[in-house]
Amino acid sequence: MTPDSSGLMTSTPTRTAPLQEHIDRLIHELLASFPRPEHLSPDERRAIIARYTAVLEGNFIYWMTGTYLSVASEDAHSIILDNLREEVRDNHPGMLRKFAIAAHAVPTDSDALAVYRNLESVRRFVAQLSGVKILLMMAFFEGFIMKFMPYLADLATRQGSAEQEYTDVHGVCDVVHTQELFRALEAEMRLTPDPLPSPTRLLEGVGLLRALIQTIVHHRVEDPVHSRC
């Protein structure tokens, strides 16, 4: 996609709209690529829950904190702070750990090793503290998590678990979180002088996170540099 055809280089007040449409499409394509839970073995189902837990439990709040440190606008700071407050106050990491325990899918050394390389790539990206790019990555993340919850809940149910608090909460609250992050993006982009970086550079974090999610589900290491975004 070229900058002209995508509309990503315009400076209208709604210049986040093409980015949001693009991210929605990426999430849809990602979910459509996943194997159906009924076609997976119990070991494969356990491993997906375990790898998801290995990535989300210890990194989501850290990456959202990195986003807070990266942005400059008052609106973005306020939106991200609300998100962080909810994560900590409602103990979302504990909720996810409970979900993994109930599904007999607590991450092992092998699960952590399977995601290590792609996880490290996202960590290095977050360390750049680049406001607009990291906001795009987190908006993609929230949007993905929300739409992934029915799939994750299905995997856990098939593993004999009745624990659904984590998936119930994130299937609902992340609708608001995603919209709020795009509002933060709009505020942040108002502070970014034109022209914006190219779409390829803006979506760098999205591409890295998408490769990590593909590893969680497919346990296939994809080169993010050459993956289409």
Residues that bind Fe ion (CB under 5 A): 92
Q: Quick one: 91 or 110, whose CB is closer to Fe ion?
A: 91
State the minimum distance, in angstroms, from the CB of residue 92 to Fe ion.
3
Please report, to the nearest 10 degrees, the dihedral formed by the alpha carbons of residues 26, 131, 199, 217 taken in order: -30
Q: Quick one: 15 or 92, whose CB is closer to Fe ion?
A: 92
State the minimum distance, in angstroms, from the CB of residue 14 to Fe ion.
28
The structure tokens 């929605």 sit at: 24
State the minimum distance, in angstroms, from the CB of residue 107 to Fe ion.
17
Rounded-to-integer distance, Cα 113 and Cα 142, Å: 24
Q: Quick one: 136 or 145, whose CB is closer to Fe ion?
A: 145
The residue nearest Fe ion at its CB is 92
Rounded-to-integer distance, Cα 13 and Cα 8, Å: 12
State the minimum distance, in angstroms, from the CB of residue 202 to Fe ion.
25
Helices (H), the chain: 3-6, 17-32, 42-70, 74-89, 92-102, 109-126, 131-158, 165-190, 199-202, 204-218
Q: Quick one: 129 or 169, whose CB is closer to Fe ion?
A: 169
